[in-house]
Amino acid sequence: MPTCLRLCIQMRCRWKRWRTKYETEGISTIPSVCAKRRAKLGRLRTSLATAATCRSEAETGARSGTGCAKERGMTMNKYYEETKVADGVYRINGLEGVYMDLFVGTKAALLFDTGYGFGDLKDFVRQLTKLPLIIVNSHGHMDHTSGNYQFDEDIYIHPKDMDFCRETNSVEGRLRTAREGRDKICYPERVKRNIIPEGFDEDAYIRKGAGKLKALEAGQVFDLGGITLEVVELPGHTSGSIGLFHKEEKAFYVSDALNHFTYLFFPEATNLQTYKQTLYKARTIPFEKLYTGHLPVVGTRQTLEDYIDCVENLDFEQGVPYDTPMFPDSGARMCMRKGYTPEDIFKPGFAAVVINKEHLN
Ligand SMILES: [Zn+2]
């Protein structure tokens, strides 16, 4: 049972008489109530409203487990959380379901991706570091770039994804993103939740654009002081997808570019051959740890070999049709590594490419 609902029931037993009077007549009609009780009734009102939202989601099968943003009491300023994975390296996450990686050196910090930007990401990052900040987008998709607007700094992105990123962040694009936030499919439970925090201004959000985009250069290296990050071009998922190789840690941050479930059916994706070459190129990077954009699991070199095995033995005809409401008529198929089914998606060794005929060559 959601915490707010439990609280609501407890409060209801205790304050039933007051609540009935409050709901029918309003708090001002209860002159004898003391200030403390007034505050408690006010909180009860909020709790009732939240519980109603969460209940309606539960009734439509839309939520379970960890709860929606309102139930968690998430506000713009209290929306994200971080996990420290190495000295000066934080993985930032929240209900958005996408990882943003913050690297803090001795001279500068670098933020890799900005997520949906529903919460106050800038404030969260600034609590972790006050150093000069460099921002880099892994690719142009909205779930990695929609928070760009919060930052005054230049936003580095591969030139091949620049126009696409602006399109994604048009008013129409951002309106779609905001609406997705109200009905977001959350993994691994695969349930829909409202992940929009309290205090979110949708009207302002949809007009914020893509931020000050600046073209990345091939082979660009960011020296943050004690942390060296090398840009690696990884075309496939999009033409301008990149990864960052953390040389000191031998850790490879690849966002969506190399993934256990790689989308290759969007118009902005390359063909399969290009993606295959990207996988082979990744083999030449001397990484020991692989961090992807949507999973907390830390991959290894074997993880990359699993992805390669999937692509080298891909059989489109054996793939499972992937026509979801979000992507109708895409003609895409989910082509899994041999021996795995769609139910195995979070099992070790699973790898799949979601691709349509247009991208097969
Ligand atoms: Zn993507």
pLDDT tens string 104-156: 999 999 999 999 999 999 999 999 999 999 999 999 999 999 999 999 999 99
Instruction: Specify if 340 maps to a domain.
Output: no
Structural domain includes residue 277: yes
User: What's the pLDDT score for residue 17?
Assistant: 45
Question: Does residue 46 register a pLDDT over 60?
Answer: no
C-alpha 141 to ligand 1 mean position (Å)? 5
**Does 45 share its domain with 167?**
no
pLDDT of 183? 85
Q: How far does the centroid of ligand 1 lie from the alpha carbon of residue 75, in Å?
A: 26
Look at residue 1 and tell me whether its pLDDT is greater than 50.
no
Q: What does the CA dihedral 214, 215, 218, 219 come to, rounded to 10 degrees?
A: 0
pTM: 0.80
**Residue 336 or residue 10, greater confidence:** 336
Asked whether residue 47 falls in the same domain as residue 86, the answer is no
**Distance from the alpha carbon of residue 226 to the mean position of ligand 1, in angstroms:** 29
CATH number of the domain bearing residue 115: 3.60.15.10
Same domain as 230, residue 139: yes
Comparing 143 with 61, which gets the higher pLDDT?
Answer: 143
Distance 164 CA to ligand 1 centre (A): 12
Confidence of residue 235 (pLDDT cuts 50, 70, 90): very high
Q: Is residue 329 part of a domain?
A: no
User: 322 lies in a domain?
Assistant: no
Residues 46 and 91 in one domain: no
Residue 332 lies in a domain: no
Q: Please give the distance, rounded to the nearest whole angstrom, from the Cα atom of residue 260 to the centre of ligand 1.
A: 13
pLDDT exceeds cutoff 80 at 204: yes
Range among 36-50, 60-74, 185-199 with highest mean pLDDT value: 185-199
One domain, residues 148 and 50: no
Whether residue 141 is contained in a domain is answered as yes
Please give the structure tokens belonging to residue 158.
Answer: 């591969």
Residues with CB under 5 A from ligand 1 (ion): 141, 256
Distance 146 CA to ligand 1 centre (A): 12
For residue 88, the CA-to-ligand 1 centroid distance in Å is: 25
- Whether residues 46 and 166 share a domain: the answer is no
In a domain, 11, yes or no: yes
Q: How far is the CA of 237 from the centre of ligand 1 (A)?
A: 7
88 and 230, same domain (yes or no):
yes
Q: How far apart are CA 331 and CA 354, in angstroms?
A: 10
- For the chain, the straight-line distance linking the first and the last C-alpha, in angstroms and rounded, comes to 50
Number of domains in the chain: 2
pLDDT attached to residue 199? 87
Do 172 and 290 share a domain, yes or no?
yes
27 and 119 share one domain = no
CA of 161 to the centre of ligand 1 (A): 11
Q: How far is the CA of 103 from the centre of ligand 1 (A)?
A: 21
Q: Over the stretch 298-354, which tens digit does the pLDDT of each residue have?
A: 999 999 999 999 999 999 999 999 877 777 788 999 999 999 998 898 899 999 999
Question: In which domain, by residue range, is 19 found?
Answer: 3-59
Q: Per the domain annotation, does 67 fall within a domain?
A: no
Q: Which of 65-69, 208-212, 244-248, 300-304 has the lowest mean pLDDT?
A: 65-69
What average pLDDT does the structure give for the chain?
84
97 and 239 belong to one structural domain? yes
108 and 222 in a single domain? The answer is yes
251 shares a domain with 113: yes
